[in-house]
Amino acid sequence: MALDYKPAIHFNQVSYSIEGNPILQGITGSFPEGKITTLVGPSGAGKTTLLKLCNGLLSPDSGEIYIKDQPIDRFEPVELRRKVGIALQSAPMVSGTVYKNLALPMELKGGTLEKSPAESLLRDVGLGEKYLDRKITDLSGGQRQKVSIARTLVNKPDILLLDEITSSLDRTSLKEVEELITHINRKFGTTIVWITHNLQQALDIGDYTWVMMDGEVVETGESDLLRAPASDRVKSFVQGGAE
Q: How far is the CB of 105 from other proteins (least distance, A)?
A: 5
Positive or negative: CA dihedral 101, 159, 87, 82? negative
| Residues engaged in binding other proteins (CB under 8 A) | 18-19, 55-59, 73, 77-79, 81-82, 85-86, 88, 90, 92-94, 104-105, 108-109, 151-152, 155
Q: How far is the CB of 16 from other proteins (least distance, A)?
A: 12
Cβ proximity to other proteins, 83 vs 175, nearer residue: 83
Cβ proximity to other proteins, 152 vs 191, nearer residue: 152
Q: How far is the CB of 90 from other proteins (least distance, A)?
A: 6
Cβ proximity to other proteins, 82 vs 146, nearer residue: 82
Side chain identity, residue 192: I
Cβ proximity to other proteins, 41 vs 60, nearer residue: 60
Side chain identity, residue 190: T
Pairwise CA distance, residues 123 & 218, whole Å: 38
Q: How far is the CB of 193 from other proteins (least distance, A)?
A: 14
Pairwise CA distance, residues 43 & 179, whole Å: 26
- Alpha helices (H) along 16-160: 47-55, 77-83, 98-108, 115-124, 141-153
Cβ proximity to other proteins, 44 vs 77, nearer residue: 77
Q: How far is the CB of 93 from other proteins (least distance, A)?
A: 8
> Which residues have C-beta within 8 Å of that of residue 73, sequence separation ≥ 6?
none
Cβ proximity to other proteins, 104 vs 180, nearer residue: 104
SS3 at position 185 = helix
Q: How far is the CB of 98 from other proteins (least distance, A)?
A: 15
Side chain identity, residue 70: Q
- Sheet containing 70-71: give its strands across: 21-32, 7-18, 62-67, 70-71
Pairwise CA distance, residues 231 & 5, whole Å: 25
